[in-house]
Structure 1
């Protein structure tokens, strides 16, 4: 059975991914607090990603797939105090990109040491391509970095059987998206989505499940959009 480490597993897209994977895989999740099959780790803290990886290895023995889903979406307006703006930028980068990069590095080194194949699935965002609101420079930049990292890993390690994929959801019906839609005027935002609705967590979860377990190797480096045609590349 495939062993998977999934970050951001306690709610929203992460919880849906966890449910989609469990029939076919052994999944250890990450969240800010411990729970059944979930390791508590604050990815904003230096060293947390390495500690998470070690704890997951202790439970699973080996890890075959890494899914980086943990992330924050916090407003950071440009008229904030200088120190607060920089702190907001660095917190988002730390959680969304740096911790993901640290886990990708540990996964690749783990597979190289064992001489086996592995898969990475990074959950990025539509914002990586079309940007985001003026208060979310940091979020868009972190997700663009995640996409670029995914492509670089795919190109660099495919010959070793190490595959990397990214998913770019648009608005997804999680608690975070519901709050954002309410604060920004949901009808106007929905008008920008040709499908007429935001994505559901189980739709994104199915993409993650397929990439983690079934996608053909020749797809490595692919970035899949799940945004109701609100941004078409």
Structure 2
């Protein structure tokens, strides 16, 4: 179902990093549920260009992305964004034997894309949902099991960013539930996406599976089902919840 064919009364969602992998699976699943979806990417993805383009490594990009999303909403005859799903992410390595400048540059870039941009968008969403009698909204952050169990020696920055994403979601849930603003976080382990391919060769799949009691990495559609549940179906009393989806490779 195309975005423009959805029911005008149906909710509108902005999904960042939605040209491939988990983000694309989330966007596709929300569309199947009748949601008007605004997709985002930093350029052409495997399935073409997203509706909204923004390089989240640029500190000014999140605010522009939000403004562009609101403009697209109004152009479609709608009035608000009901759901924000922060999925965009980066999994670049930063070995500790890099030069100081290179290591810090890698750290800063990962935090900008994985955490700071999500924080900026979440702030704008919270303010949007508080304005003009708006009836709240739903925030879904896609974090990682790395938030709790850490990651490889080359990915301190990735684990730190994802841990910050979890803490941010909990803070939003605690302080804005009275405004009808609900926040949920999903923590996948390894997922069969292009991002995993950036950090591990396809030939390493068997090695990854050995660390997962389920015997395989997650499928993007599995994470999408959880995200769609949080965005549309999760009870209000679940706000603040963190949902693990890692095949029991890390259990809290």
For normalisation by structure 1, the TM-score amounts to: 0.96
In structure 1, which of residues 38, 56, 59 is the aligned counterpart of residue 69 of structure 2? 56
Q: Structure 1 residue 186: deviation in Å? A: 3.3
The answer on whether the counterparts of 1:9 and 1:38 sit within 8 Å (CA) in structure 2 is: no
**Residue of structure 1 equivalent to 2:21:** 12
**Residue of structure 2 equivalent to 1:25:** 35
* Partners of 1:8 and 1:206 in 2: CA distance: 17
Q: Structure 1 residue 192: deviation in Å? A: 1.2
Count residues in correspondence.
233
- CA RMSD in angstroms comes to 1.4
For normalisation by structure 2, the TM-score amounts to: 0.89
The answer on whether the counterparts of 2:186 and 2:243 sit within 8 Å (CA) in structure 1 is: yes
The answer on whether the counterparts of 2:16 and 2:41 sit within 8 Å (CA) in structure 1 is: yes
**Residue of structure 1 equivalent to 2:99:** 81
* Partners of 1:222 and 1:76 in 2: CA distance: 30
**Residue of structure 2 equivalent to 1:177:** 196
- Please list every run of 5 or more consecutive structure 2 residues that lacks an aligned counterpart in the other structure: 1-9, 75-79
Q: Give 4+ residue runs of structure 1 displaced > 6 Å after superposition.
A: none
Instruction: Give the 5 Å matches for 1:1-233.
Output: 1-23=10-32, 24-33=34-43, 38-61=51-74, 62-115=80-133, 116-182=135-201, 185-233=204-252
Q: Structure 1 residue 114: deviation in Å? A: 2.5
Q: Structure 1 residue 46: deviation in Å? A: 1.5
The answer on whether the counterparts of 1:67 and 1:122 sit within 8 Å (CA) in structure 2 is: yes
Q: Structure 1 residue 71: deviation in Å? A: 0.4
The answer on whether the counterparts of 2:129 and 2:137 sit within 8 Å (CA) in structure 1 is: yes
The answer on whether the counterparts of 1:27 and 1:37 sit within 8 Å (CA) in structure 2 is: no
**Residue of structure 1 equivalent to 2:77:** none
* Partners of 1:6 and 1:183 in 2: CA distance: 27
Q: Structure 1 residue 36: deviation in Å? A: 6.1
